[in-house]
Each structure stands twice: as C-alpha cells, then as structure tokens.
Amino acid sequence: MQVEARRADDAGGDVLVVPVAEGGRPPAGADSRVADLIASGEAGTGFGETALVSDNGRRLVVAGLGRRADADSIRTAVGGAANETRRVGGSLAYLVDPALAVSIEEQARAAADGLVLGTYDTRQWRSQRPEDRKPFERLVLVGADEVAVAAGARAARVAEWANRARDLSNAPPNELTPERLAERASELAPGGVTVEALDLAQIQALSMGALAGVGQGSHNEPRLIVMRYEPEGAKGDVTLGLVGKAITFDTGGISLKPSLGMENMKGDMSGGAAVVAAICAVADLQIPLRVLAVVAAAENMPGGHAYRPGDILTAANGKTIEITNTDAEGRLVLADALWHAREQGATHVMDLATLTGAMALALGDFYAGAFANDDAWAEQILEAAEASGDHLWRFPLHPRYRRYVKSTYADIKNSSDLREGSPVLAAEFLKEFAGEGPWAHLDIAGPAFLDRSRGDYLWQPGGTGYGVRLIAELASRLAA
C-alpha cells in the first residue's frame, strides 16, 4: 500500500476521514460541515461511530474516537470509515489532529493498521466472492510529515503480514495440514529467510517424543518448521527465538472436546501462523537482527494410534511426561520446539500459543497473557506490545505452582485435575523445557482467534494475526 502526505488544504483522496474525540473539537483544517453535523446530532463522536457525507464524488466520514481517543480508537475510526465506503475504494485520506494525546507518528501507524487490518476479507473460500468491495490502494496522511509517512508505510507492511497470518489461521483444516503449513511457510518466505521442514522420521531422530506423540493419532504426520533469518550486520549478541504452537486441528484427542464450536479449532495454530508471518515481516523490513523461528505443527486426533491418558512420553531434553489429558497437547509440542530453539542458538526466546481457555476467561479477546523468567525481557516485550497494538498483560510465575503438575510416575504431568491456575501451571510446565536464558510465554487464546466481532477494527470473526505487529516492534527495538 502506498502511503503519502499532503497539506490540509490539498487533502485529495476518494474518502476523507476526520477523527473527532468525544467532547472535543474537529481537527484544525476540517471541513466546516463537520462541526455542524456534530452539533445537529447527525454525526456522533462515540467510539466506533461513523457518519458519511457525499458531495460531488467526494466522501467525508466523521469518525468518533470516544472518550479515550487512543491509537485503538484511530484504528477503529479508519477501519470503520473504510468499511463504510468499501464500494468506493481507491485512496483514503486521514486528517491528522495534533491536538490529540496520540503523537502524529502514532496516528500514522494507527491509521495504516486500521485501513489494512480493518478491511481484511474472510470470504476467500467462497465459490463466488461478492463484488461489494473495492481495495484501498493508497493512504493519504493529511498534515503529516515525512517521519510520520515512513512510520505509516512501515505499519502498513507489517499489517499486511498480519493479514497473511490471518489467512493461515482461517484456512480450513482439510486444506492446511501440518505438511501444507510447512509448504506455505516456504512460499511466503522472502529473500533472506531459509525454511526447513522436519518430517516424522527426523522428529523422532531428534528424540522429540512429545511432538511425535501428539501427532501420532492423525493420518497427517507432524512437521517441525524451522525458519532462519541471518542478515549481514546483525546485532552480534542476540538471536531472537520465536516458537509457535501450530495444532492445525484440535479435537482434543481421546480427551475429546465438546462438538459445539469445534470448527474453530482450526485456529489452534494461530501462534504458529504469527511466528511464520512475523519472521517474514522482519526480513521484509530488513531489520538487522538474527531470528530463529521454530513452529511445531500437528493434528490432535483420536484413533487407534492416538496417544492416551496414562501414556508417558519422553521429550527432546530427556524429561518424561505423564499424559493426564490429551487436550493439553499444546504444551507438549511446545516443549520440544522450545528445547530445539535453544539448542539451535536462540539467546532470547518467546513462544506464542493459543494455550488455555482460562486465559480467555480471564482477559477476554483484547489482551493476551504473558509469563517470563526474566524481568528485563518481560518489560521489553510488554513495551513492544503496547506500542504495536497487540495488547499484553503479565501474569506471575512461581515455583510453588510446580506442584500442580507433579507426577507420581514421571518427571512431570501435562495437566492438573484441579480447576485452578491453569494458565500459570501451563507456563510452569513450559519453563521446564525453555533452557537457560531469557524466555517468555504468551498465551494468546483470547485475542488470536475471535468467535465473534470484537467491536473495533478487528470486527471479523476468525484469525486476527495477533503477535505479528508485536514481534516486528520487538525485533526493531532489539536491533536498535
């Protein structure tokens, strides 16, 4: 998407978006009709409210920011305006407001996010896609400087990669098997990114009994997808390790899930989708940082060959795991992937996984939960999350939680029969396989795959691409 700046007296664009905070005034240079529309009640300034005026082929959208008037408000305002004028397409202009608490540069980033993410179309698998939408190919930042334009252009590129992650999350499970996910990773990878896909025999040769065990009930064998980006001039002492859970379909295995809503379990690979798209985004932006991505892909299916409650699996680091619930499979595939990332030289590791329903109960669909063994590393991730729009909240790790997964027969068990602290005990489980050095676990169960509209710029159900913007921001900061 092309991003450019124009003066307030030369806005251009097929659609002009004028943001107005609740109780605030229209930006300087706004059409005089904006204030009149608000005063008459024809336009509202509440969060997500839009009012469209058409005049001689020019569309003006008054977009409410609500009381908070933050970056998410701007994302939602632009996304709402773009959908309001989806039959128009072409170019969309956003009138920057220097009076807002959000900087001009951040307004540019938010506008790009809102336009790219807010116009994502989930209908690509229809035999005849409805012709009710024209693409917006240009974002005009009215009253912005070149620094803001560069920030907006960069945000648009990252958001486009987030949309590719959404394509992966939304793909039907008969189409996106573990093998096909590995192929898509190769197809998406830009120059500078190498991709290796380990098959079942190679997984077993590396003694990855946890990943192999989860995948053994399916006719579609598991894959361990390893992607590397090693640019010239990369920061010498940091290799960012990204680990993604990619259960391309999760029935729960023998511990079978309820049938209601099971179709959405195609989205249980959203952590892996984010990792694949994020390393591609880092390479596309030519960020001078070494990145290693390890994605554990498997189907969790019941069947004659499926792993069972009571089985004991041996992970790649030699630890034994008693299986008490086959629906706690994500932590098993992550165990082997985390260990492999550390063995391959990752100095700072972060895993992303749609891991526990309890995290979604705790934080809903807006925040993900974070756990970390290093305060400085956690703070870097949290700051990148807030700056990117992928919101994150830190939860505690404590060795006392280890007792929840203490096994009578093995080194550790994969779940607890107590309905207490399940996201924390899952993190404590993963910590056993994270190796030495900074590590963080992001439980993205809530915001990564939506059962319904979130009521903002992520208004479509399905994959959101959560984590791609966060990782791109984090990588930029690590490389600085």
Exposure b/e, 254-269, CB count within 10 A at least 16 = b: bbeeeeeeeeebbbbb
Place of tokens 């008969």: 174
Structure tokens at 377: 């590393």
Burial class (CB in 10 A: 0-12, 13-18, 19+), 96: buried
Cβ atoms of 374 and 435 closer than 8 Å: no
Other residues' Cβ atoms within 10 Å of the Cβ of residue 23: 9
CA distances from 357 to 28, 203, 453 (A): 46, 28, 18
State the catalytic residues: 257, 331
Which DSSP letter does residue 409 get? S
Which long-range CB contacts under 8 A does 233-238 form with residues at least 24 apart? Answer: 233/288, 234/288, 234/289, 234/290, 234/479, 235/288, 235/289, 235/290, 235/478, 235/479, 237/347, 238/289, 238/290, 238/347, 238/348, 238/478
Q: Do residues 3 and 105 make contact, with C-beta atoms less than 8 angstroms apart?
A: no
Instruction: For residues 15 and 97, give the distance between their C-alpha atoms in angstroms, rounded to a whole number.
Output: 17
Could you give the 3-state DSSP secondary structure of residue 33?
helix
Evaluate the CA torsion angle 140, 141, 143, 148 in order and state its sign: negative
